[in-house]
Structure 1
Amino acid sequence: MRSKSDKKKSLVPRLRFPEFREAGAWEKKRLGTQGGFLTPLSGKSAKDFDAGDAKFIPYMNVFSNTFTDIQDLRSVIITDDESQNAVAKGDVFFTVSSETPEEAGMSSVLLGDVDRCYLNSFCALFRFDDHLSPNLIFLGYLLRSRSVRCHLSRGAQGATRYNISKLVFKELPLVFPLAKEQQKIAHCLSSLDEVIGLQAKKVQALKQHKKGLMQQLFPAEGETTPRLRFPEFREAGAWEVRRLGEIGKISKGKGISKSDIKPNGALPCIRYGELYTHYGEVIRDVVSFTDANPGNLVLSEENDVIIPASGETKEDIATASCVSVKGVALGGDLNIFYSPMNGMFLAYYIRGNLKFEISKVAQGNSVVHLYTTQLEKLKLAVPPYPKEQQKIAHCLSSLDEVIGLESDKLDALKNLKKGLMQQLFPQEVA
């Protein structure tokens, strides 16, 4: 059994600003002693939503945002004779149900007033009593800290879906330092979030730039000349329209089952689902490995283009990646295209201006298929000079490298915030 001094130590964060290092332990309070729960929207049917002049906060707004996004609201009909609880500045929203215990009880704090706005019926609405509310920005980060998330995850009950009772929320232990320390922590983390937000916008802007560039560098549907061309190729003439089957050979990989995947396997491999979850247009590093006999598999050569043979949606299947390394085992639900064409060029082309064409010929509903015979008939315009293919591929892959570097910076900032959160809040609060 822990002594009182041990319990006091657990209420002190590992990292503290210099001026608060002698300020003593934080004060622990149960959420239920600080206010009460109000009923969210009730008595509504489907016809009441996405109409009317009142607003409501959707479930995913609460789930995804530490602080409620007041731009992400939907309409709802609220009549004058209804008794509904409008939300107010300082309210805390919790999701009460989720697919996993780790995602249950996600919180969001409302930082401002919104007129005639209500909370969706799948979330819980908590309101602090007068004069008991802490610094709202500090509160938002506290409710997403490790100790709070652990308490709520442990309290989630269920099988296919996990629910949290009001009692679990009321027993939630919260720890508070003095107001000035709350403000300092809030300022530190919100400043870091601003930097993260700016970096995220930078990454998104680069991705949008790439999308626009791809639309310009490849001919639009029904055209044979791209709108944007490098100076040395502006007088090179129109691109030649050919079928994919005329340019190279298409075949299929061989089956690699889930049980064949081994973390320490000797042979790198790619299965169909990974093509649209892990990889971009160029595959340089492979994430899966197998111990299967290479003699029973189809292995890639450098410059091969991989296109799914099946997928869940037509968007998933309308993708392609160029393997820049040889000797990768390719799964049975993958089409492999061998040709003298620049593989990177073709992968960018398929993911860009040919995406719609591929989705049109794909077949199926619950499972979508793309057969080699369909791919062979796919028409595309090919630059007359291989150097133009190479130039376009180099341009887009260089941009991808920049996007990758900026994305890595974004991930590093997010990890920095995660580490700070673990240090700035006490970790063991029972």
Structure 2
Amino acid sequence: MSEKDDIAILPRYRFPEFSESWKTIKLIDIADYRRGSFPQPYGLPKWYDELNGMPFIQVFDVDDNMCLKASTKNKISKLASKQSVFIEKGTLIVTLQGSIGRVAITQYDAYIDRTLLLFEKFYRDIDKVFLAHSIQQLFEIKKQSAPGGIIKTITKQVLSEFTVQLPEKLEQQKIADCLSSIAELISAEEKKLLLLNNYKKGWIQKLFPAEGKNVPEWRFPEFKDSEGWETIKLRELADYRRGSFPQPYGLSKWYDELNGMPFIQVFDVDENMCLKATTKNKISELASQQSVFIEKGTLIVTLQGSIGRVAITQYDAYIDRTLLLFEKFYRDVDKVFLVHTIQQLFEIKKQSAPGGIIKTITKQVLSEFTVQLPEKPEQQKIANFLSGIDDLISKQTSKIESLKCHKKALMQGLFPTVGEAWK
């Protein structure tokens, strides 16, 4: 027996009742799988039936908690279902495009798109939840070696050559039960976060005037007799411009991860009206000469990708051309209030956009947007009230992130790491 054959495949952490080595096996030898399907081209009304149609699973509908979202974004018509693939509740699926490598065990019957893979038959007696975690962990490892931590594409053929490690069935079940308990806890905390976000959304709808009105549905008592809010174009309220970055992107001389300054791109703007704790990239001194520096406390808006995300920066940084920065205000306005106002404005614009997505926005178009302003004291009162809810949301988000980190660390211990073996 060679030295390689003599090495046992074992995880770092193990339940005491198990001692056998894990087996390495190709995914193609574990199960039979195929892509879903959907008639082309996408978008034709005859393929959809929101009233009487069946759920239709696309990449968007696969959550990051190994489940589907509560309901799919689209429902498939009877006509389109004849050219799609039906899957029963409890089917293991994997996303192959977009957010590649998301895994789920479906919790309802549905039809499935061609951008996902579905497992149809298993050649081994395997715990499905364990396999879902194994595949998810496998994609996490693959992402670490991918440029920028992103897997840009994956095919069924490439996936077939992936190898996974399998213990005996009882150990699979034990690991699956352990991870499922943490997943359930995370899910419960995410539901609390959703309630907080909906609570905030409800208050924003009450605290800001509805379209076509100049007073909100609800006002703080001290402002009940105040005048209606003033309507003003954004360009009359402030001076703003795009950021900048030398072209082309990607040249190593533009970046300095060791000594560089934070460089804000769309990716770095979080959903909570703040930047992420650190930017994905740091800009070099050479590139900074062709970029735009902004101080902590600057109001910014994303113009590409996730359009309409707004933030007040919490650290000094340089900023990319895909974002707008507010440089000077012509009115005495509460910055936090204005952030909420702009965010609410984009939410309204999304409601009238095809598919609820704003595909593009320019500085010129943004300049014609109108906002409504009360007097400064009322702005501050609204800003303080909403900031209080934001603090609760931030704490709940941190709690969820801590649980996810705990689960990730546990998975790294419960599954053998690629390249690691234990005698």
Q: With structure 1 as the length reference, what TM-score do the two structures score?
A: 0.69
Match of 1:291 in 2: 285
CA–CA distance in structure 2, aligned partners of residues 121 and 66 of structure 1 = 19
For residue 15 of structure 1, what is the aligned residue in structure 2?
13
Q: Deviations over 1:18-76 (max 9, x none)?
A: 3x15x332355555555x63666689666995479887755666796746779659546
Aligned pairs (5 A) from 1:340-419: 340-353=332-345, 356=348, 368-371=361-364, 375=367, 378-384=369-375, 386-419=376-409
- Cα 1:414–1:211 change in 2 (3 A) is same
1:147 and 1:357 mapped to 2: Cα distance?
Answer: 36
Q: Does the aligned pair in 1 maintain the 2:27–2:160 contact within 8 Å?
A: yes
**Partners of 2:239 and 2:326 within 8 A in 1:** yes
Contact 1:143 1:149 in 2 (8 A): no
Aligned residues: 392
Change (3 A) 1:305 1:358: farther
What amino acid is the match of 2:198? Q
Shift of 1:345: 1.1
- Identity within the alignment, %: 22
Residue 244 of structure 2: which of 255, 263, 271 is its match?
255
CA distance in 2, matches of 1:421, 1:25: 17
Q: What is the aligned partner in structure 1 of residue 32 from structure 2?
A: 37
**1:192, distance to aligned residue in structure 2 (A):** 0.7
Corresponding residue for 1:175?
A: 166
Which amino acid in structure 2 is aligned with residue 177 of structure 1?
Answer: E
Residue in structure 1 matched with residue 194 of structure 2 by the alignment: 204
Question: Partner amino acid for 1:368?
Answer: I
* Cα distance in 2, alignment partners of residues 55 and 246 from structure 1: 46
CA contact (8 A) 1:111 1:136 kept: no
Shift of residue 191 of structure 1?
Answer: 0.9
Q: Distance in 1 between matches of 2:351 and 2:76?
A: 34
Q: Is 2:3 the partner of 1:2?
A: yes
**Which shifted more, 198-207 or 68-77?**
68-77
* Structure 2 residue identity aligned to 1:347: V
SS in 1 for 2:217: coil
Match of 2:22 in 1: 26
Query: Residues of 1 paired with 2:234 and 2:256: CA distance?
Result: 35
Structure-to-structure mapping, 1:138-217, within 5 angstroms: 138-146=130-138, 161-165=153-157, 169=160, 172-179=163-170, 181-217=171-207
Structure 1 residue runs of 5 or longer lacking an equivalent are none
User: Aligned-pair RMSD on alpha carbons?
Assistant: 4.9
CA displacement, residues 86-133 of structure 1 (integer Å, 9 cap, x when unaligned): 7567765455x5479xx46x6555688x5xx6665553544125xx42
Per the alignment, in what secondary structure is the counterpart of residue 336 of structure 1? strand
The alpha-carbon deviation at position 230 of structure 1 amounts to: 2.0
Residue type of the partner of 2:387? S
State the SS of the aligned residue for 1:371. Answer: helix
Alpha-carbon distance in 2 for matches of 1:295, 1:199: 44
Rounded to whole Å, the distance in 1 between the matches of 2:351 and 2:86 is: 45
TM-superposed CA distance for 1:134, in Å, is: 2.3
Taking structure 1 as reference, are residues 290 and 351 closer, same or farther at Cα in structure 2, changes over 3 Å only?
Answer: farther
Equivalent pair of 1:242/1:379 in contact (CA under 8 Å):
yes
Q: CA deviation at 1:220?
A: 1.9
Distance across 2 between alignment mates of 1:344 and 1:217: 14
In the alignment, structure 2 segments of 5+ residues that lack a partner are 353-357
Give the Å deviation of 1:400: 1.6
Are residues 242 and 413 of structure 1, via their aligned partners in 2, closer, same or farther at CA, if it must alter by over 3 Å? same
- Alpha-carbon separation, structure 2, partners of 1:33 and 1:143: 14
Shift of residue 415, structure 1, vs aligned partner: 1.6
TM-score by length of 2: 0.70
For 1:425 and 1:209, locate their aligned partners in 2 and report how far apart those are by CA, in whole Å: 39
Larger-gyration structure (1/2): 1
